[in-house]
Amino acid sequence: SPQNVQVVISNGRKEFIEGDNVTLSCVCDANPAANNFTWYNNRDTTLELLEEQGRSITVTVGRGRETFSCAAGNPLGIGNSNALELQVLYPPKNVTVSILDGNLDLTNVTLICTCFARPAVKNYTWYRDRQGQVTTFEEQSAEITINIGPEKELYFCSATNQLGVGFSSHVDLQHLLESSSYKHGLLSPTALVSYCVGVIGILSILLIVCCIWRRRNIQSSSSKQKSNRDVSFFLSKILQI
């Protein structure tokens, strides 16, 4: 049966840009010669049987982990190759803005810009959109700490590597804060203010009720003492008679 089965890249390159066409060959030692070939693509841990059955195939590489393997057969049996992983390069994709875990308080918040990219991102750029006026921050790292203001503010970021740039969508900071606060069991600044106002209102009502109850209790006690004095005076008069 075929021995030393392996997948060979025809042009010898090791790195490819997303969308490139790559020709792969299934080579082996076999006598008689291998006359039956089967190809497999393992993409993101899913093994897929390819329709191409020849010694060489041409594939278009996509983003993510791309590995290929083949099986060669002759009348004496079948031999299988190891998987060959292609290094696929692509510009930043799925760029998103989120709150860095554990970095949220009433006045400041740390945002993080994340994405998928190969090669790795070289630099990040942060932007703030306040009523249509876009400001670019000097900060060039994946994280940025900002002050929480009363106005509606939108934030977004861009990530750049040697193949291009990717932008995140605009994120409403207040909405992001409320979502993160709910996720971590915290109160956002807006919710905290509402909570404090509610607590103060309840305490005020309880204080008023206590004052009314105390006043009525004092009045009732005074009336009772006066009634007792009247009874004592009446009894003393009777005893004098």
Separation of alpha carbons 185 and 153, rounded Å: 23
* % pLDDT > 90, the chain: 43
pTM equals: 0.62
More confident residue, 151 or 194: 151
CATH class of 90-186: mainly beta
Contact 24, 10 (CB under 8 A): yes
Average pLDDT over residues 111-121: 94
Residue 191 has pLDDT above 70, yes or no: no
Token pair of 237 as six digits:
């008069």
pLDDT at 206: 77
Reduced to 3 states, what is the DSSP secondary structure of residue 223?
Answer: helix
pLDDT at 14: 78
Residue 157 has pLDDT above 90, yes or no: yes
Query: Measuring CA to CA, how many Å separate 5 from each of 26, 82, 121?
Result: 7, 8, 37
Domain ranges in the chain? 3-82, 90-186, 187-241
Indicate the range of 64-78, 134-148, 205-219 predicted with least confidence.
Answer: 205-219
pLDDT band at 231; cut points 50, 70, 90: very low
* % pLDDT > 70, the chain: 76
- 3-82 and 90-186 in the same fold: yes
Residue 94 has pLDDT above 90, yes or no: yes
pLDDT at 150: 77
Residue 182 has pLDDT above 50, yes or no: no
Q: State pLDDT tens for residues 19-41.
A: 899 999 999 999 999 999 999 98
Separation of alpha carbons 214 and 208, rounded Å: 10
Average pLDDT score, the chain? 81
Cβ neighbours for 196, distance < 8 A, ≥ 6 positions apart: none
Residue type, 217: N
pLDDT at 105: 65
Average pLDDT over residues 210-230: 64
Separation of alpha carbons 88 and 68, rounded Å: 13
**DSSP 3-state helix, strand, coil percentages of the chain (rounded to 5)?**
25, 45, 25
Closest CA to 7 of 22, 23, 27: 27
Bridge partner list, 59? 22
Token pair of 35 as six digits:
């006359």
pLDDT at 62: 79
Bridge partner list, 83? none
Cβ neighbours for 8, distance < 8 A, ≥ 6 positions apart: 24, 25, 26, 27
Indicate the range of 18-22, 136-140, 156-160, 177-181 predicted with least confidence.
Answer: 177-181
pLDDT at 186: 46
Residue 116 has pLDDT above 60, yes or no: yes
Architecture of the domain delimited by 3-82: Sandwich (2.60)
Number of neighbouring beta carbons within 10 Å of residue 175: 12
